[in-house]
Amino acid sequence: MKSSLVLYIILFLISYSSFSQNERLIEGDLTNEIDVEGIHILNKTSRFNAITDQNGNFKIEANAKDTLVFSAINFYPQQVVVTQENYVSQSIVVTLKYLTNELDEVVIGNQLTGDITKDLKNIKTEKNINFDDVGIPGFKGEPKEKIPDMLGEVITPVSVNIDALYKHLSGYYKNLKKMRQWQGQANAVAIILSLYPPSFFEDAYKIPENRVYDFVLMCVETSEMQQDVALSNYNGILTVFKTNAPLYLANLAEE
């Protein structure tokens, strides 16, 4: 009986090793022509991370089917799955989508009075005016899809919004919320890493440079740091760093 158990364990380990793969060092390249330096890459599966050099090249430990998360201020956050072909060739090529914020061309034909409300009415534009042109904050771009409440908006005493009801029941709105949450967190991490270089985290909190992205992402996910970033509350950001650094280092030591 004992020998049979040992034989079973050996066969299981042999079978497992034949199907499992070890992580390899994948060499990556961004095809974008500008702003390719300093882009952060996180292996969402193993939590390894890397940063692109001035040519958009990077190296990161990964396995087939691992998910790589790319994050930078000038690009939309993007997730890329490592294919078996990438794993075998130990290379991957990625193109990121630019996050543009172009000013619309404005043709001024009337003399400005200093009254913003009146001047905006008198300005003729070739395109829709951008709030940045007049130096005031405001929403630019296409509005996000609204996620209605199930009771009161989808289902009312007199009607039912069939399309919205289907999106609730199918999980569409749930996934949409998760995607927006992830994009907000990724953008917050990118902004923070543009303000504080990796050497800052190593000097101030003893965080290894190859773990900085993971540490900042943990801080964003477990605190109100995303709101602090939006409000430029740097004291709040540093407080979160100081609080979470010992916990992160303890977990890192256990790994």
- Residue-wise pLDDT for 22-31, tens only, equals 788 999 999 9
pLDDT of residue 100: 60
Within the chain, strands assigned E span: 24-30, 40-43, 49-51, 57-62, 67-72, 75-81, 91-94, 106-107, 124-125
> Does one domain contain both 111 and 82?
no
pLDDT of residue 125: 52
Domain count, the chain: 3
The answer to whether residue 155 is domain-embedded is no
Domain span at residue 61? 18-94
Domain boundary among 94, 114, 147: 94
pLDDT of residue 182: 76
> Does one domain contain both 89 and 118?
no
pLDDT of residue 13: 46
pTM of the model: 0.45
Here the CATH number for the domain that contains residue 69 is 2.60.40.4130
For 193-239, what is each residue's pLDDT tens digit?
A: 888 888 899 999 999 988 888 899 889 988 898 899 888 898 999 99
> Does one domain contain both 193 and 245?
yes
Q: Which helix (H) or strand (E) holds 150?
A: none
> Does one domain contain both 186 and 250?
yes
Mean pLDDT of the chain: 77
Across the strands, what pairs with 50? 41
The answer to whether residue 59 is domain-embedded is yes
pLDDT of residue 15: 47
Residues in the chain, pLDDT under 50: 1-2, 5-9, 12-20, 102-108, 139
pLDDT of residue 19: 41
**Cα 149 vs. chain centroid, distance in angstroms?**
26
Q: What are the residues whose beta carbons fall under 8 Å from the beta carbon of 242, sequence distance 6 or more?
A: 205
The answer to whether residue 165 is domain-embedded is no
